[in-house]
Amino acid sequence: MLSIKQLSFAYDKKNVLEEISFVIDSGDFCAIIGPNGRASPRY
């Protein structure tokens, strides 16, 4: 299990993630999807 609490991230002084929290259970998959529907290689 992976538990993330209040994660924030900025790229080039622009907030990308702001205080997100989530849990990923064993066997689950997670992806960060951009506005065009594709995963970003930056993250």
Residue 14 and residue 18: Cα distance in Å, rounded?
11
> Can you give the pLDDT at residue 31?
77
Query: Rg (Cα) of the chain, in Å, rounded?
Result: 12
> Can you give the pLDDT at residue 40?
60
> Can you give the pLDDT at residue 42?
59
The 10s digit of each residue's pLDDT in 2-41 is 999 999 999 899 998 899 999 999 999 887 777 777 666 6
